[in-house]
Structure 1
Amino acid sequence: MENGNSSGGGERQSRRVPLSDVVSDCLRRWFQDTLKEAKAGDLSMQVLVAQMYFYGYGIPKDHQKASIWMTRASRVRSSVWKVSGKRPGYNASDSDSEELLDNS
């Protein structure tokens, strides 16, 4: 029964999705989950949303929205601007804040 119409291997092969589509979908869902947490006030997620807008991870690039989210996060911790141009996932740590205070 190589050509069976039930749940055989041939059906799986015809439903293959290009890896780029899978990755794009994952990035889109990552952005949506991150945005939800950012809107709820999570500082790290606000920074991540800004970075995602800046680089276009899961969302079209939008430097104006990136700046808005980074400004929102900087109201709590000014050191977040140090990572505004970094790739998504690079966070401002507490040591960054202390470094700014030491240099003032």
Structure 2
Amino acid sequence: MADEHDAARLTAWVHGMVQGVGFRWWTRSRALELGLVGSATNLADGRVQVVVEGRKDNCERLLTALRSPGSPGRVDHVAELWSPPRGGLHGFVER
């Protein structure tokens, strides 16, 4: 993972039509391309929660991708929360 000076944890809640359209798989692919670890989880209210850790610039790139018109489905809004990395994440899991 990134060194402690440029590492970050991003939690993003993606609102819109993002379940049942391949959004989690697409997010996993983008995250792995950027060297990020974490998960994408369907929430009961229809949102997808994305949690990633890695280099902050790569987390920012993923956030841009989540908001882009190229993502599957329809993204209406992405809420974000930045925090220090906690570690302990390996690979990328779709839930």
Same fold, judged at TM 0.5 (above): no
TM-score by length of 1: 0.28
Between structure 1 and structure 2, the one with the greater Rg is 1
TM-score by length of 2: 0.30
Answer 1 or 2: which has greater helix percent: 1
Answer 1 or 2: which has greater strand percent: 2
Q: Whose relative contact order is higher, 1 or 2, with alpha carbons under 8 Å and at least 6 apart?
A: 2
